[in-house]
Amino acid sequence: MVRAKFRIDPKERKLSMRIAGHAGAGPKGFDVVCAGASMYAFGISQCFKNMEEEGKLENPAMIAISNGRVSASVTVKPEYFGEAVHTLYVAQVGFRLLSEAYPDYAKLIPYETSLTGDSE
């Protein structure tokens, strides 16, 4: 199963995503669930890299990609926080669609929208 977890800490302006696991919905190279999950993982990672290159982050983006696992996190400058939240939201919506279409192979752990900074 592929699991995706998204987190937002508005107080610290930190956003993160972790996608891990193997769906097992098909043979390696032909697994549409893994392909879809990879697309979201690589897409959000690239968006975070783009934000870094554009000077929108407080620190360099932290991105780690390995077999069956992608994690990415950023701390965003205040004036770009809304843009970053929207970017993560779009990825979460996409992963929600994937998990609804293939509930036996993908699970979404969505972020909670909270003004207190709680993200669990």
Residue 17 covered by a domain: yes
Q: What is the pLDDT of residue 47?
A: 94
What is the number of domains present in the chain? 1
> Across the strands, what pairs with 64?
71
The CB density around residue 112, as the number of other CB atoms within 10 Å, is: 11
Q: Is residue 23 part of a domain?
A: yes
Domain assignment present for 119: no
- In tens, the pLDDT along 44-85 reads 999 999 999 999 999 999 999 998 899 999 999 999 999 999
Helix (H) or strand (E) holding 74: strand 69-75
Query: Mean pLDDT over all residues of the chain?
Result: 89
Domain CATH code at residue 97: 3.30.70.1490
Q: Is the pLDDT of residue 94 over 80?
A: yes
28 confidence band (pLDDT: 50, 70, 90): confident
Q: What does the alpha-carbon distance between residue 13 and residue 11 come to, in Å, rounded to a whole number?
A: 6
- Which pTM does this prediction carry? 0.84
What is the distance between the terminal CA atoms of the chain, rounded to a whole angstrom?
21
Q: What is the pLDDT of residue 119?
A: 41
Q: Percent of the chain having pLDDT more than 90? A: 74
Q: If pLDDT is split at 50, 70 and 90, which confidence band does 29 have? A: confident
More confident site: 48 or 29: 48
- CB-based contacts of 118, cutoff 8 Å, min separation 6: 112
Give domain status of residue 46, yes or no. yes
Q: Determine the pLDDT at residue 113.
A: 53
- Give the Cα separation of 86 and 69 in Å (integer): 23
Rounded-to-10 torsion of CA 10, 76, 19, 63: -150
- Answer yes or no: are the C-beta atoms of 76 and 51 closer than 8 Å: yes
Domain hosting residue 98, numbered range? 2-109
pLDDT of residue 116 exceeding 70:
no
